[in-house]
Amino acid sequence: MNIRHSKYKNTGILFELLVRQITADTLTGVDSKATKILKKYFVKTELGREYKLYETLSKHKNLTEGKAEVVINSIIESSKNLNRGALKRQKYNIINEISIHYNIDEFFKTKLPSYKSQAALYTLLEIYNSENLSNPDQIIDNKIIILETLTTKPVSKQKVEDDLMTEFQSYDKDLRILTYRVMLEKFNGKYDSLNPSQKMVLKEFINSIDSTPKLKEFYNTRITEIKYELGKLSKKVSNKAIQIKLTEVNNMLTPLGKLSKINNDDLVNLLQYYALLEELVKAND
Q: How do residues 111-134 score in pLDDT, each as one tens digit?
A: 888 899 999 999 999 988 887 656
Q: Tell which wins on pLDDT, 173 or 271.
A: 271
Return the sign of the alpha-carbon dihedral for residues 45, 46, 49, 50. negative
In the chain, what percentage of residues exceed pLDDT 70?
80
Lowest mean pLDDT among 105-114, 162-171, 179-188: 179-188
Asked if the model's pLDDT at residue 174 lies above 50, the reply is no
Rounded CA separation 165/184 (Å): 12
Residues 6+ positions from 111 with CB-CB distance below 8 Å: none
Q: Per-residue confidence at 165, pLDDT binned at 50, 70, 90? A: low
Residues 6+ positions from 226 with CB-CB distance below 8 Å: 253, 270, 273, 274, 277
pLDDT at 254: 85
Average pLDDT over residues 154-174: 60
CA within 13 Å, CB half, 232: 8
Rounded CA separation 137/161 (Å): 8
Longest alpha-carbon distance in the chain: 96
CA 80 from centroid of its chain's CA atoms = 16
CA within 13 Å, CB half, 81: 7
Q: Tell which wins on pLDDT, 165 or 276.
A: 276
CA within 13 Å, CB half, 174: 5
pLDDT, one tens digit per residue, over 46-99 is: 999 999 999 988 888 888 888 888 899 899 999 999 999 999 999 999 999 999
Buried b / exposed e across 62-86, counting CB within 10 Å, b at 16+?
ebeeeebbebbeebbeebeebeeee
Asked if the model's pLDDT at residue 191 lies above 50, the reply is no
Rounded CA separation 40/17 (Å): 15
Rounded CA separation 274/197 (Å): 7
pTM of the model: 0.59
Torsion of CA 174, 176, 177, 179, to 10 degrees: 150
